[in-house]
Structure 1
Amino acid sequence: MVAALELYLDVDATRRIRTLWRALDDEGIPSLGSLHQKHRPHVSLAAAHHIDPHAVADALDGVPLGRGLPVEMNFAGQFVGRVLWLGVTVTPELLALHEVVHTRLHERGVEVWEHYRPGRWVPHCTISLRVPNPVMGQAIRRCLEVLPLTATITGAAVADHAKDIHQTL
């Protein structure tokens, strides 16, 4: 199970990513959209097996969580385990937000996976968690068709879909 601190994208970027999800699904490539209907296109700042949404809300009280921050997706990537994603270009503002969030979470004892911590995090928007290896090239080509994609962060939440948790921050 995965819980995450998610940053949500503006309406146009969300529409474009959902269109990509549907195109992949139509080609028999499972997307995050077909996993279940709860996912929204997002960029995760932190993830773990469990994240207490109330502890996160307390730790991040007063942090604007990137609202209004522009982000650009200019490349596609793959993590081990057949995870396909759109890569978010790193900016000083995005890294500063990430650092503040993790400093506050750490101070409040909220633990996250090591690969989401400052210095290790790869900012991305997940497209699929399980692309079959024989069609990975096809899936990447489909992702490249929507790039570049510019978005604005419009909101944030702690989400754990397996536990039906969605706490807006």
Structure 2
Amino acid sequence: MTHVIEMFLDEEADQQVRLLWSKLSDAGIPSLASFSHCRHRPHVTLCGASELGSDDLAEASEIIARQLPPLTLGTLGAFPGYRGALFLGVVPSVELLDLNARLHAQLVSGKGRRWRFSGPGQWVPHCTLANGLTAAERARGLEACADFEPLDCRVSAICVIDAATGERMAVLA
């Protein structure tokens, strides 16, 4: 099992991301709306671990309660590779990077093994638009979403999600 801590976006930003998901679908590109368990909401993943126990969640809630950073979805981008992704890049504010670092410091001491690329110095904060795309699909997707404008938004909730099923395991904020 893998648990992820996800920041959900305010209603306006959520709608803007879903509009981009629709543009991808209209262009014949599968978006996150139809990926895996199909229960995805527009979000930014703060971190992930193989398991988050109740002690981990209590400590994570305390850390998160101290700061809910505003987010700016500032860029449209793509991760490379055979089955890459399209995303909206989050401007990495000091507050956001600090929140990620504090959560990882707490999770490393817990029994759950953290995700390698979601920790300090490796994390690329982003809101995924589509996963598992070929290079040609990524190129078409970038074209379909080319009119994206940077978007300032608020975090509406922070939750622990079971990555395999999309089930909400806990609300942290």
2:43 counterpart of 1:45: no
Where in structure 2 are the equivalents of 1:54-93 lying within 5 Å? 54-64=54-64, 68-79=68-79, 80=81, 81-93=83-95
Q: CA deviation at 1:24?
A: 0.7
* Matches of 2:58 and 2:98, distance apart in 1: 19
* Matches of 1:77 and 1:53, distance apart in 2: 34
Deviations, residues 99-131 of structure 1 (Å, cap 9, x unaligned): 111111122233212111111100001110122
Question: What is the TM-score with the length of structure 2 in the denominator?
Answer: 0.85
Deviations, residues 115-161 of structure 1 (Å, cap 9, x unaligned): 11111100001110122322322211333322211111121111124
* Matches of 1:120 and 1:85, distance apart in 2: 16
1:106 corresponds to which residue?
A: 108
Question: What is the TM-score with the length of structure 1 in the denominator?
Answer: 0.87
Deviations, residues 68-112 of structure 1 (Å, cap 9, x unaligned): 421111212222322111110111111111111111112223321
1:118 corresponds to which residue?
A: 120
Amino acid at match of 1:33: A
2:34 counterpart of 1:34: yes
Structure 2 unaligned blocks of 5 or more: none
Q: CA deviation at 1:67?
A: 6.2
* Matches of 2:66 and 2:150, distance apart in 1: 20
2:129 counterpart of 1:127: yes
Call closer, same or farther: CA 1:133–1:66 in 2, change over 3 Å: farther
Call closer, same or farther: CA 1:116–1:164 in 2, change over 3 Å: closer
Amino acid at match of 1:139: G
Structure 1 unaligned blocks of 5 or more: none
Contact 2:21 2:32 (C-alpha < 8 Å) held by counterparts: yes
1:144 corresponds to which residue?
A: 146
Amino acid at match of 2:121: G
Call closer, same or farther: CA 1:75–1:135 in 2, change over 3 Å: same
Deviations, residues 14-61 of structure 1 (Å, cap 9, x unaligned): 00001111111121100001224310111101124x333635312313
| Among candidates 94, 97, 104, match of residue 95 of structure 1 | 97
* Matches of 2:72 and 2:45, distance apart in 1: 15
| Among candidates 140, 161, 164, match of residue 162 of structure 1 | 164
| CA RMSD after TM alignment | 2.1
* Matches of 1:66 and 1:135, distance apart in 2: 40
After alignment, is 68-77 or 5-14 more displaced?
Answer: 68-77
Call closer, same or farther: CA 1:34–1:154 in 2, change over 3 Å: same
Contact 1:44 1:124 (C-alpha < 8 Å) held by counterparts: yes
